[in-house]
Amino acid sequence: MINRKITILGPEGTNLYILLQFLLFSVISWFTLFSSIESIEFETTNILSRQIVFSLIGLSVFFLTTYLSIENLYNLINPLFILSISVLSGLFFTTPILGVRRWYDLEPIGIPIFIQPSEFSKIILVLFIAKILSQNSYKLIFIMGVLINLLLIFIQPDLGTTVLLLLVTFFMFFISDIKLRSTVLGLLIFFLLFFILLEMNFIGDYQISRITDFFSGDDFSQNQSRLSISSGGLFGTYFTNLQVTEVFVPVQTTDFIFSLFSRNFGFLGGFLLLSLWVLFFFRVNRIIKLTQIEFEKYLLSGLLILLGVQIFINLLTILGFIPLTGIPFPLLSLGGSSIFSTAIIFGLINRVFIENNIVV
Amino acid sequence: MFNQKRLKFTFVSFFILLVFILFDIFQLQTSEFLSSSEIIDQQNLDKFYITAPRGEIFDVNGEKLAESKLEPYLFLNMRKITSQNSSEYRQIIQYNFPELTTLEINEIFESKEILKLVTNLYSVEYEIRNNILNNFDAFLIIDLPVRSYIKNELFAHTIGYIGLPNQDDFNEFKNSLGNNQVGKNGLERYYEDYLSGIPGELIFLGSDIIDSKQPIPGGDLFLSIDSSTQYVTKESLQQGIDLANKSFESLNEIKRGASVVLEIETGNIVSMVSLPDFNPNKFVSGISDFEYKQLDRDQAFNNFAIQGLYPPGSVFKVVAYWLALSENIFPEGLSNRDSKVDCVGSLSFGFVDGSKQVYNDWKLEGHGKVDLTDAIKQSCNVYFWDIALNIWRNFGNTEGESILQEYSKELGFSKKTNIDLPFEKVGIIPDRDLFEEWKISRPGLVRDEGWLGGDLMNLIIGQGAITTTPLQVANAYRTLLTGENLSPTLNVNAEKIINNKINVSDEFISFLLNDLNTVTNKGGTAYVSFSILGNKANDIGGKTGTAQNAGDKNNTSWFVGVDSVSDPKYIIATVVDEGGSGSAVAAPVSRRIIQHLRKYELTPVKFGEITE
């Protein structure tokens, strides 16, 4: 490996395209949240100031991640994975919030936020799978590790993230040379496990009712979010004089933020935002082709799949195609954990770019 | 091995899914736009606000002065009341809450609100509550805060009270609409935004609650006031007022007065009392019209400590004292503070325009040979008139003639002290410009000649058109003793604002303290009032004041105390409206407050001596 000069913006500078995308998505999120606040005072309860602080911390997380070389990262994967499993297990000793054990509350140590460890464990899972695949060694213990990780999230319970990680795992195995048969078989085994757990009452009633409710009729919040998207029209209410009554959407600033975004910026806004993501995928895909290192190929593909599946689950949820999941839209939704984890993803991608000498 | 083809397949399927999603969004925002708008317009979502608990108020020792207790209230969801079930609900209410009259129950069922308050459930048994809630789904219990002022009248003017907001309140305080209450006066109003909290919300779609936001409680307020000092201050002032009523023949019953204790080092208010007062709790439960009018007639809602405008009389002489020493302007012919004038009880003098006038001192036989110290000690008017004459003869009709007014303003007179209370008054320091203005705006009030030397002579002894508030006077003394004009505060966490700084030397301060000390000692105007304390209290400073009022109003009784001159900690300013001589009434009131501050045994307010 070449010895690189370390600069203030990471080694040999930073990939400006990745940085620009990160900043652009953050600013879009600020503008979206700006319309839903009543005052612009700077205080910890104000969602816009919270988000701006989160974004700025996210930016430093992005740069910090960039300092970690892929070689060092590769060697760190096993300890990180064990840490991730331990932190997820530790959740069982916390008091449930809203009936689930999903967060560590940092209020007692003076930071007014909740940390959601599954946000970070999903990146570590992608790293872990990328390592297994690039080593081409499918030891049983590794496969068991992946399964335990999924199970720990499954019994929090967090069905949305479980489905997300299941899909990511599936796609990552799919892009390797493993026979399609065994990948599909793995998926089937997991679904079997799901029904066994269901029989053993491991899954809360409300999760089941969420699913059955979905098939039995319309969900109120999804109906409202469709109305909210619709009310944006072609160009949105932000820059035009469109007079539309406000639509009430529950948790509109977090999981349902795309409905607020669409209302503000209309179809044009939505189209541009998603196009930015498509561009991002194209840009990263070029490096996947370019790099000679197997691990980097799996890593970049895995991260893209992770981002892509998150966006799809989020959009399909708020459009009412699938039941409520609680998956945020990366960099758009309000929330620290989601921003920090996406910042890490961007930082990792940035590092691979730099190690391949691509800075613009 | 990494399979590039399968990755391509994955991304292509992602892209197809994306196109599908974009197509759906496009349809929503174009062809379904109008039908959606219609649905949205028909969706009348309504908000019902829940009052947030106001922040509580504590005194300097952490004793609670105002609290907000949550009590359960029963509400009826009017959207769930139909013609079928209405009689059933009516019966339940009648049966369970017999204290409600038919009229009140009719009012509930005729209400157009979403949620209508039925009754307070505070004293209703738990079983009844449970039974009602579980079997009838139009009922709802919401916890609402109830404000109570624990010390009743004692903090009526400082803490103030809350009430129903009006249109102006809605515009000024954004939370007042949702809370349906607002601070109307005192600290409750000054710190409204801090105390109010953010109201909670219930969002209704039709008759169902689809979302709710918890109210966020307001911040607590910690005051520099000490409850026991406040209590003694009120008690002493009341004794002073009673004493004045007993001692003087007054046309009107003497009722009004104010007293303030100010901590010199910090500018913190230790106690602030205005009489007459009222019970602010009456505003929480609703005050009767009769009672309100009666209190209003007695001017009980005025905080005279910051809203009472009185001529200060001789307590104002310290301004001239400061001016004399700073500018070296003494009575004509004198060059320093130790030279003496011969006070024969009156001053006759002629002006350039040929007019001649005689001014009589309060002591007709005269004070004899008087220097600056004696002039303060015995409150000799002649000495200060001589200073005024000197100013007038040197600077009259030039720019310099307003030098006394400028010194006054440096000490904060005719300006707000900017204490953390609303509706503070500023008072008047008259000068030539003001008289010219009054000639037009208030004809008949001033002579056609306008501002004359006699007006300056009146001003220098705190008489005539000048008016001040008790707090202004207390703060002016504090300014003289510290060199900075600081805004007094009640909230210990309030930012300390320096209005301006003045130039006073340590030498000047010690002179002033010594001279104020002579007032309470043998030969001084307040000696009789303070001699009761004996030798252990011979280090108290002060100044008496007796201001004449127009018409047949009795004199205004003033005393400003400094405790002590060796270690200046507190300024105590007391006014009894129509209380007569300052040395007779206001001085013993202040003396009793000082007894409390020094933890001496309290003795009743006793008539002093009529001096000025």
Residue A244: what pLDDT? 63
Are A233 and B29 an interchain contact pair (Cβ–Cβ within 8 Å)? yes
Residues of A in contact with B2 (CB under 8 A): 133-134, 175-177, 294, 297-298, 301
B414-460 per-position pLDDT tens digit: 999 999 999 999 999 999 999 999 988 988 888 888 888 889 999 99
Query: B2 and A281 in contact by Cβ < 8 A?
Result: no
Tell me the Ramachandran region of residue A240: left when phi exceeds 0, alpha when psi lies from -120 to 50, beta otherwise.
beta
Q: Do the chains contact at B45 and A248, CB–CB below 8 Å?
A: yes
Within a domain: residue A295? yes
CA B409/CA B415 separation, integer angstroms: 7
Asked whether residue B284 carries a pLDDT value surpassing 90, the answer given is no
In a domain, residue A1? The reply is no
Q: Which two tokens stand for residue A174?
A: 């799919």
Task: State whether residue B12 sits within 8 Å of chain A by CB.
Answer: no
pLDDT at residue A247 in the model: 79
Mean pLDDT of the B9-18 span: 94
ipTM, interface predicted TM-score of the complex: 0.90
Residue A109: count of CB within 10 angstroms of its CB: 6
Q: Is residue A344 in a domain?
A: yes
B352 — contact with chain A (CB < 8 Å)?
A: no
CATH of domain B227-597: 3.40.710.10
Residue A41, domain member (yes or no): yes
Chain B residues lying within 8 Å of A271, measured CB to CB: 22
Residue B361's pLDDT is 84
Nearest chain A residue to B42 by CA distance is A245
Distance CA(B494)–CA(B488), nearest Å, equals 10
Of A239 and B366, more confident = B366
Residue B351 has pLDDT above 80, yes or no: no
Total number of residues shown for chain B: 612
The one-character DSSP state at A25 is H
Q: Is residue A360 part of a domain?
A: no
Instruction: Summarize pLDDT for B128-180 with one digit per residue, the tens.
Output: 778 777 778 889 889 999 999 999 999 999 999 999 999 999 999 989 999 99
Q: DSSP secondary structure string, A119-156?
A: HHHHHHHHHHHHHHHHHT---HHHHHHHHHHHHHHHTT
H-run or E-run covering B183: strand B182-183
Instruction: Tell me whether residue A191 is in a domain.
Output: yes
Query: Residue B3: which of A136, A177, A266 has the nearest Cβ?
Result: A177
> B40 at the A interface (CB within 8 A)?
yes
Candidate from A233, A250, A312 with C-beta closest to B17? A312
- Mean residue pLDDT of chain B comes to 91
Cα-Cα-Cα-Cα torsion B202, B208, B210, B213, nearest 10 degrees, comes to 10
Q: Tokens 């989160």: give the residue.
A: A54
Taking CB atoms and an 8 Å limit, are A270 and B25 in contact across chains? Answer: yes
* Mutation target vs A (from B14, B32, B193; most A CBs, 10 A cutoff): B14
Q: Which residues contact A126 (CB under 8 A, 6 or more apart)?
A: A168, A172, A299, A302, A303, A305, A306
Tell me how many domains chain A contains.
Answer: 1
The boundaries of the domain holding residue A220 are 6-355
- Is the residue at A172 inside a domain? yes
Nearest to A220 among B17, B32, B210 (CB): B210
- How many helices (H) and strands (E) in chain B? 23, 21
How many CB pairs (< 8 A) connect A and B?
105
Collect the ranges in chain A with pLDDT lower than 50. Answer: 1-2
CATH topology for the B52-222 domain? Penicillin-binding protein 2a (Domain 2) (3.90.1310)
Q: Which residues of B touch A226 (CB under 8 A)?
A: 28, 36
* A270-294 exposure pattern, b = at least 16 Cβ within 10 A, e = fewer: beebbeebeebbebbbebbeebebb
- B255-283 pLDDT tens trace: 999 999 999 999 999 999 999 999 999 88
In a domain, A54, yes or no: yes
- 3-class SS at A318? helix
Query: Which residues of B are less than 8 Å from A318 in CB distance?
Result: none
How large a percentage of chain B has pLDDT more than 70?
A: 99
- For position A1, what pLDDT does the model report? 43
Q: Is B203 on the interface with A (CB under 8 A)?
A: yes
For the cut 90, the answer to whether the pLDDT of residue B57 exceeds it is yes
The domain locations on chain B are 52-222, 227-597
User: Which tokens is B69 given?
Assistant: 């207790």
Within B100-191, where are the H helices?
102-109, 126-135, 167-172, 176-179, 186-190
pLDDT band at B474 (very low <50, low <70, confident <90, very high): very high
pTM of the model: 0.73
Residue in the structure block whose two tokens are 């705190």: B462
Q: A158 or B19, which is more confident?
A: B19
Q: Which of A39, A41, A138, A175 to mutate to test the interface with B (most CBs of B within 10 A)?
A: A175
Do the Cβ atoms of B221 and B56 come closer than 8 Å?
yes
Of B3, B24, B32, the CB nearest to A319: B24
